[in-house]
Structure 1
Amino acid sequence: MIYLKTLLNVIDNSGAQVVECIKVLRHGPRNFAKVGDQITVVVKQARPLNAEITGQSANNRVKRKDICRAVVVRTKAPFRRPDGSVVRFDDNACVLINQNGDPLGTRISSVIAKELRDLEYKKVVALSPKSH
């Protein structure tokens, strides 16, 4: 479960490494995010921008203190699937997205939860190497 001020790893190549949750974009009485929920984040740690990178890839890079949207793809908190199995990951991770729900990066470096297939994040699932 992702609450306010939770730190998450970013698993795409958008330029961010660590982000902090500042808002859970969810309707209802619960104020936490789980796998598949959108959150608003601020970039706490970013990769340095190379001088030789130009064009569209440089425009899509995020910098420290940027405010972005993200979708949660892994959580440390265990959650139950409809078949009865319980899934728990080693870290909290997210993928940065734009207002339309398209990912900012062009690659995803590690696994994501299988529950994203059923939601509207088809492009995120297509970029991931594997889903658990």
Structure 2
Amino acid sequence: MLSETTFRRIYRIGSWYDLIVTWPLATPITLAMLWATMGGIHTQFGLAPLPTLDTYAVLFANMAGTVVLIWIVLRIRWDDLRLARYDAVGRFAFSTWMIVALSNGGSPILYGFLAFEVTFGVLQALPYRRDA
């Protein structure tokens, strides 16, 4: 069982990780930069080229990125541990979608993101004891 202090630290680290990883999805310009960077990584490692993002892919990535950023800011500002439990459920859902993408030929880069999602999801689902 984790102490409340340790649980809170894990939850904060997870929130900041999410902010770093998600903010590029929130605008068309930052998404294009991220996609170009990931395409370069693919080329360096001899992976298949990434598909071109069409209008709808950009739209849905931007909308999802914006909603997730709002959720992240809420978690950071309120620092309410009850939100960690909801976030764990979201992480398990995101992990499921990554596994679906990987099983359908998604980029192996997703394994790195999947590892973080599963790790933070499990840690945020663990019981903790209130500090005295």
TM-score by length of 1: 0.27
**Higher helix proportion, which one?**
2
**Higher strand proportion, which one?**
1
TM-score by length of 2: 0.27
Q: Which has the higher contact order (CA 8 A, sep 6+)?
A: 2
